Amino acid sequence: MTIRDIMILLGFDIDEQSQNEAENSVKSLKDMATKALGAIGVAFSVAGAASFVKDCVSVASEVEEMQNKFDVVFQGMTDEVEAWAQSYSDAIGRNKNDIKTYLADQQNLVGFGMTRQEGAELSKQMTTLALDLASFANLDETAAVNNMTKAVMGESEAAKALGAVLNDDTRARAMQAMGLSGTYEKLDQLTKMQVNYNAILAQSPDAIGDCERSLGSYKSTVVQFQSKLKEIKTLVGQFFMPTFQKVISFGAKGLTVLRDGVQKLNDFAAKIGGAEKIIGVLGVTIGATLAILLSQYEAAMLSGPWKDVADYVGIHSDVSRFGAQVINGIGFLGTGTIIVTGRQEVKGLTTAAGLWASACMGLAIGAGFYECVILAVLLITFCVRLLPIFEGFLVERARNINIYVEFASLDDVGAIISRIKEQGAQIFEVDINHGEENRSLKPSAVFSIRLNQRCLHEEVLTAISDLEHITMIDEV
């Protein structure tokens, strides 16, 4: 049915032009829908393939871990046990790697006094019996193998989950069949395990061999299909796993570099006062950048779209006005960071200079003067990181030094002056602070001295600190 037929059926009159327009619109919609559905299909196909490969690699990784354990617990007989696992898995239509997993888990019993060869034989017997019981009673195979391990260790509840009973009576019959005398409690752990296994085996005659007998059943066919599918997934995963491993290894190295970078950033932030100070400096820089951009925008608008209104009102723009106010404002903020301590130390100069330099770099960024910003960053880094080292070298060898000392009472000043003179130094000035008892502030003094010969300042400080009643000493 065409568009024309539909419109006539609905009682509308339609000419040929309108019909063509309607049909073209419908065709466009169909094309759009086809492309959209195609794109969705491709997206789902790619996502499905990626998910399948990821699943395969996960399966192959589990097999790799299992193989590592298998090689350790069956060392010296790996080929023999692997050949048995291959033969048995083919006989019952199961995945060989699943059988090897069960065997490796059961082989942990070697620690109870068995040799590896004895442990391997018992592992085969327990795995075979557990899978036959699972097939016969429609149990989960992995759970059946785990319950078999627990039952052999003596857990009656695990044996009950397999359809067997472990009590004094069943164990006594198993011991009799094995030719053992005495009581179960007096047996060693290895013999107890063998008795428990034989007790379960004696109660399961109908289940023995059920895996092979039921190969033709629907459920067994499904299990065989799933087993072969898992083997294919393992092979596909083993193909892609080296590539995944390289990608993940590269990613791990990248994350290590990122971690080290973040750690260095944290250390740097701690040295300059914490992340809050860094964010503050960035805020100043960004604010200055916005200010100069706004200044340029205003100038462009007043000379362009707003020119007529600006000429009529008499508004004139000065591009430097915003930048000048930024400099003044940051200067005011920087002044607030500079303080003089009780030790007559000036603190906050570097912070104030850093804020001012950050604002200037923000203005340069807003103006597009990036070369200046790069040069400024290099120079500031040099000043902040390298110059303090050079400064420390010079200060340590300077002959003029200021020493801040806290002491118990003003009577100690004379002893301090005498000790300083003993070091061959000349005192230029002494600024004494009497302290305040109500605020628990001890007396202190700042000594300005000149050494008659070059020596390490640490030696002078140590000599003064050896005096009695000196509570604190520092070079300022």
pLDDT digits (tens, 9 = 90+) for 359-407: 888 888 888 888 888 998 888 888 877 887 887 777 777 788 888 888 8
Residue 32 pLDDT > 70: no
**What's the CATH number of domain 399-475, 3.30.70.260, 3.40.50.2000, 1.20.1050.40, 1.10.357.10?**
3.30.70.260
pLDDT digits (tens, 9 = 90+) for 86-116: 999 989 888 899 999 998 888 776 566 677 8
The region of weakest confidence among 129-133, 225-229, 296-300, 452-456 is: 452-456
Report the distance separating Cα 131 and Cα 209, nearest Å: 9
Structural domain boundaries in the chain? 3-57, 74-215, 275-394, 399-475
Report the distance separating Cα 96 and Cα 88, nearest Å: 8
Report the distance separating Cα 298 and Cα 101, nearest Å: 75
Cβ-contact 166, 154 below 8 angstroms:
yes
Residue 211 pLDDT > 70: yes
**Length in residues, the chain:** 476
Report the distance separating Cα 115 and Cα 111, nearest Å: 9
pLDDT digits (tens, 9 = 90+) for 116-170: 888 888 888 889 999 999 999 889 989 999 999 899 888 989 999 999 999 989 9
Q: What is the separation, in whole angstroms, between the first and last Cα of the chain?
A: 98
Residue 21 pLDDT > 70: no
Per-residue pLDDT averaged across 198-221, rounded? 88
pLDDT digits (tens, 9 = 90+) for 415-457: 888 888 888 888 888 888 877 765 667 888 888 888 877 667 8
